[in-house]
């Protein structure tokens, strides 16, 4: 028989003093139910031990709970501070007319809390609830708000397939055992602010239609969000990820915030998509971070982040501006085949190991100003369709950008660690840009087999411009040599490069490449031998042992240098620089002769071929001596004077009587013979030998006069 109303009351002030934190209630709450039997409390507020003494088992308490929930009175929904053994409301529909919440705040469940496939149409308050056993809400449906802030789940917590149609709040809650929210659907705000997950947890294939809030949450073990979809803002600000975090194939339709996060183990964002800005500023990645095949539709911000493990950002499409400013990459960093549709900002970034931008594509401007590459900088086959800025960038090891394309490149005051660094731009296309090196650093540029457009070069040592640049089989399309005449004159030598040609490290395909590229086979990595057969500073195959004379005459690089100056001549002609074109043409012809000599002394050539080559050498020498290959009319004049003098001496040897009765008559006769094939009455040659000399000199003279007119006209045109 009942002795009256339940004496239990919850005093938030006393509770806060005892526990040192805010209570879930602001005001004192008293139980309105009748006391159980001879006790002073209802069966919900009796301790399990006292209920056992009275013969009240957990099943009857659970039935009483369901009965209370089925009544129409709002007062019957309050269970603040109640103590339960096991709660089992599985496979039930709890749909009251009233919207008054079911109040389980500060409740203690010593056993399991089972609500599998339960349908609840009323708000549910579970703040400060403590569940000692497993909590199973599999496939449950909550039609109104659910609040479980600062709840404690000491057993496994299973919410697989649960549908929260309204807000769900688990802020400050603790999950001591594995927690599973797979396939859960959050219809409104889902708040896990400062939640603590002390065991593995999973949100795989979950759907978040409202804001997803995990600020300052802590995951001590692995967490999985694979294939989840976030329709509203996602906030993981200052979250601690103690185990592997998996966000593979996630879709973020609104802004995603991971600022100040700490990833102690692997951080996996493979094949994820971000439709709105993604924020990773000041994030710490202690282990591998992988964003392979992820798509950023808007801004991607990683400023001041730290990657202590390998950073794998390969096959990514950055649709918006991308910021990696002041990021520390303390291990291998890969942007293999990634695409930057908008600005790419890597200013002040530090790459402590290999930085691989192999086959990356930058559609807009790319900034690497004051970035530091401690390891190898690998930009092979990259495409820069906007301006790329390497301003005051530091390369401590090596840098290769071979086979890349540049719309406009700025290399200004590049720095080194004190030694020499050669930036490998071999086989690249540089349509425009500036190369400025005025800080005294020993930086060299290898532009072998490249195509150079409208590029300006400024060096602190202006006379050593071409000692810093390797132009070897380089094509010039818009490069203005006239700006460097004072450097090139008087020798007009381009191949004075003093840097190293070969890469100082072994190039490889990206270690995270999805497929093996055919062009990454041996010979395509920049370390294999060039098909040119050599280069400046590289010995070419001479075809066997040569004699000392052959070794002195032959030049193993001659064929390549011939092509080098041919391309330089063509480039100068394209910009209308006729003077440079003239000088480079002379160099081209000179190295063509050296090429013929080289082949003539090669054992692989037949005797007939050697004779032809020696004939070509003779013709080349003749053109050089007589007119400077048509570029130097003064040589024609000089050669003509020598011819007149030689023939005068020959006339003196074969004609006994001097013409005009004077020793100077031989000279006059030679001049007359040189300028005309027909003799006038002013001079006679009595014998056959003299007449033959006069005829041959006349032929040579006519040839030289024609050659002089050609060379003079050509030089005036130049």
Strand runs labelled E in 116-195: 119-120, 124-125, 130-131, 135-136, 141-142, 146-147, 152-153, 157-158, 163-164, 168-169, 174-175, 179-180, 185-186, 190-191
Separation CA 386–CA 405 (nearest Å): 10
* Mean pLDDT (whole number) for 342-356: 96
pLDDT of 523 reads: 41
Cross-strand partners of 322: 300, 344
Half-sphere exposure of 623 (CA within 13 A, CB side): 18
Banded pLDDT at 668 (limits 50, 70, 90): confident
Three-state SS at 584: helix
Banded pLDDT at 661 (limits 50, 70, 90): low
Give the orientation angle of helix 558-574 with respect to helix 578-600, to 10 degrees: 160
Q: Could you write out the DSSP letters of every residue in 204-241? A: TT-EE-S-EE-TT-EESS-EE-TT-EE-S-EE-TT-EE
Q: Does the global pTM surpass 0.85?
A: no
Instruction: Give CA separation, 361 vs 239, 321, 344, 412, in Å.
Output: 33, 14, 10, 22
Three-state SS at 305: coil
Residue 163 tokens read as 């549908």
Q: Could you write out the DSSP letters of every residue in 600-663? A: HT-TTS-HHHHHHHHHHHHHHHHHHHHHTTTT-HHHHHHHHHHHHHHHHHHHHHH-SSPGGGST
User: Looking at 26-40, 117-131, 531-545, which range is the least confident one?
Assistant: 531-545
Cross-strand partners of 218: 196, 240
Residue 342 has pLDDT above 60, yes or no: yes
pLDDT of 283 reads: 97
* Mean pLDDT (whole number) for 646-670: 74
pLDDT of 695 reads: 77
| Segment 252-284, tens digit of pLDDT | 999 999 999 999 999 999 999 999 999 999 999
Q: Tell me what the pLDDT averaged over the chain comes to.
A: 86
Residue 58 has pLDDT above 50, yes or no: yes
* Residues near 112 by beta carbon (within 8 Å), at least 6 away in sequence: 86, 87, 88, 131, 133, 134, 135, 136, 155
Separation CA 312–CA 586 (nearest Å): 52
Three-state SS at 567: helix
Separation CA 616–CA 465 (nearest Å): 34
Residue 670 has pLDDT above 90, yes or no: no
Separation CA 131–CA 86 (nearest Å): 9
* Residues near 84 by beta carbon (within 8 Å), at least 6 away in sequence: 44, 58, 61, 62, 65, 107, 108, 109, 110, 111
pLDDT of 373 reads: 95
Separation CA 246–CA 288 (nearest Å): 12
Phi first, then psi: what are they for 409, rounded to 5°?
-120, 135
Residue carrying structure tokens 């970034």: 349
pLDDT of 68 reads: 85
pLDDT of 621 reads: 83
Residue 5 has pLDDT above 80, yes or no: yes
Residue 29 tokens read as 């709450």
Burial degree of 406 (CB within 10 A; 0-12, 13-18, 19+): buried
User: Looking at 118-122, 224-228, 380-384, 490-494, which range is the least confident one?
Assistant: 490-494
Banded pLDDT at 608 (limits 50, 70, 90): confident
- Angle, CA of 281, 283 and 286, to the nearest 5°: 155
Residue 312 has pLDDT above 70, yes or no: yes
Burial letters for 417-430: b for 16+ Cβ neighbours within 10 Å, e otherwise? Answer: eeeebbbbbbbbbb
pLDDT of 165 reads: 95
Question: Is the peptide bond preceding residue 517 cis, with omega within 30 degrees of 0?
Answer: no
Question: Measured in whole angstroms, how far is the alpha carbon of residue 12 from the centre of its chain?
Answer: 57
Burial degree of 498 (CB within 10 A; 0-12, 13-18, 19+): middle
pLDDT of 462 reads: 62
Phi first, then psi: what are they for 377, rounded to 5°?
-100, 110
- Report whether 341 contacts 360 (CB < 8 A): no
* Mean pLDDT (whole number) for 691-708: 75
Three-state SS at 323: strand
- Count of C-beta atoms within a 10 Å radius of residue 649: 12
Greater confidence (175 vs 573) lies with 175
Which of 623, 588, 579 lies closest to 489 in space, CA to CA?
Answer: 579
Greater confidence (643 vs 406) lies with 406
* Parallel, antiparallel or unpaired: strands 29-30 and 9-10: antiparallel
Burial degree of 717 (CB within 10 A; 0-12, 13-18, 19+): exposed
- Residues 302/359/343/272 CA torsion (nearest 10 deg): -50
pLDDT > 70: percent of the chain? 87
| Segment 141-163, tens digit of pLDDT | 999 999 999 999 999 999 999 99
| Segment 488-512, tens digit of pLDDT | 888 888 888 888 876 545 556 666 6
Residue 245 has pLDDT above 70, yes or no: yes
* Mean pLDDT (whole number) for 305-314: 97
* Mean pLDDT (whole number) for 694-715: 73
pLDDT of 517 reads: 45
Separation CA 86–CA 536 (nearest Å): 85
Residue 379 tokens read as 């930009």
Give the orientation angle of helix 578-600 with respect to helix 688-717, to 10 degrees: 130
Separation CA 464–CA 455 (nearest Å): 17
Instruction: Give CA separation, 300 vs 83, 224, 718, in Å.
Output: 49, 22, 54
Banded pLDDT at 227 (limits 50, 70, 90): very high
DSSP 9: E
């Amino acid at each position: 028989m009942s002795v009256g109303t339940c004496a239990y009351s919850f005093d938030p002030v006393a509770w806060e003093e005892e526990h040192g934190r805010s209570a879930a209630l602001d005001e004192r709450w008293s139980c309105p139910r009748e006391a159980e039997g001879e006790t002073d409390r209802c069966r919900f507020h009796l301790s399990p031990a006292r209920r056992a003494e009275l013969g009240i088992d957990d099943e009857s308490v659970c039935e009483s709970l369901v009965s209370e929930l089925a009544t129409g009175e709002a007062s019957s929904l309050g269970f603040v501070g109640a103590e339960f053994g096991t709660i089992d409301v599985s496979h039930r529909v709890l749909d009251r007319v009233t919207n008054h919440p079911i109040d389980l705040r500060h409740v203690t469940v010593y056993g399991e809390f089972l609500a599998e496939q339960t349908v609840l149409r009323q708000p549910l308050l579970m703040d400060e609830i403590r569940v000692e056993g497993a909590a199973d809400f599999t496939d449950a449906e909550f039609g109104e708000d659910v609040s479980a802030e600062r709840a404690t789940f000491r057993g496994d917590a299973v919410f697989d397939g649960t549908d929260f149609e309204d807000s769900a709040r688990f802020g400050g809650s603790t999950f001591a055992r594995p927690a599973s929210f797979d396939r859960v659907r959050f219809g409104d705000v889902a708040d896990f602010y400062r939640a603590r997950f002390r065991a593995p947890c999973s949100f795989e294939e979950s759907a978040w239609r409202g804001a997803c809030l995990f600020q300052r949450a802590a995951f001590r073990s692995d967490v999985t969000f694979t294939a989840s979809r976030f329709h509203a803002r996602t906030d993981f600000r200052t979250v601690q990820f103690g185990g592997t975090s998996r966000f593979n194939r996630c879709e973020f339709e609104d802004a995603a915030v991971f600022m100040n996060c700490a990833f102690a183990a692997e951080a996996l964002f493979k094949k994820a998509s971000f439709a709105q800005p993604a924020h990773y500023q000041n994030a710490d990645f202690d282990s591998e971070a992988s964003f392979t095949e992820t798509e950023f539709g808007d801004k991607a911000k990683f400023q001041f982040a730290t990657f202590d493990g390998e950073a794998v950002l390969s096959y990514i499409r950055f649709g918006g501006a991308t910021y990696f400013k002041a990021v520390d990459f303390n291990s291998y960093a890969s942007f293999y085949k990634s695409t930057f549709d908008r600005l790419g900002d890597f200013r002040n970034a530090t790459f402590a190991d290999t930085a691989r931008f192999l086959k990356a594509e930058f559609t807009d401007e790319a900034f690497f100003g004051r970035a530091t590459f401690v390891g190898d900088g690998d930009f092979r086959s990259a495409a820069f369709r906007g301006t790329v800025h390497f301003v005051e960038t530091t390369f401590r090891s090596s840098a290769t950008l071979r086979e890349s394309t540049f719309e406009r490149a700025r290399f200004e005051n590049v720095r080194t660690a004190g030694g020499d660094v050669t930036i490998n731009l071999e086989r690249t296309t540089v349509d425009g840009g500036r190369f400025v090196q005025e800080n005294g650093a020993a930086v060299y540029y290898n532009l072998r087999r490249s195509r150079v457009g409208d590029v300006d070069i400024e060096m602190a040592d202006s006379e050593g411009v071409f000692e810093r640049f390797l132009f070897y089989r380089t094509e010039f399309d818009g490069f203005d040599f006239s700006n460097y005449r004072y450097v090139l004159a008087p020798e007009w030598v381009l191949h004075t490069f003093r840097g190293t040609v070969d890469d100082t490290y072994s190039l490889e395909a990206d270690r995270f490449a999805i497929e093996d590229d055919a062009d990454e086979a041996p010979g395509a990595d920049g370390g294999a031998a060039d098909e040119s057969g050599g280069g400046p500073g590289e010995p070419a195959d001479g075809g066997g042992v040569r004699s000392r004379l052959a070794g002195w005459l032959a030049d193993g690089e001659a064929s390549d240098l011939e092509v080098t100056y041919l391309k330089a001549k063509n480039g100068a002609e394209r910009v209308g620089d006729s003077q440079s074109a003239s000088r480079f043409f002379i160099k081209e012809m000179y190295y063509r002769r050296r090429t013929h000599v080289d082949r003539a002394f090669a054992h692989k050539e037949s005797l007939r071929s050697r004779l032809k080559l020696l004939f070509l050498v003779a013709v080349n020498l003749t053109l050089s001596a007589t007119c400077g290959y048509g570029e130097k009319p003064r040589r024609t004049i000089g050669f003509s004077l020598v011819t007149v003098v030689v023939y005068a001496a020959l006339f003196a040897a074969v004609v006994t009587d001097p013409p005009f009765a004077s020793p100077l008559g031989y000279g006059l006769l030679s001049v007359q013979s040189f300028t005309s094939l027909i003799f006038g009455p002013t001079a006679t040659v009595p014998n056959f030998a003299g007449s033959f000399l006069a005829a041959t000199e006349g032929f040579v003279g006519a040839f030289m006069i024609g050659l002089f007119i050609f060379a003079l006209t050509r030089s005036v045109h130049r």
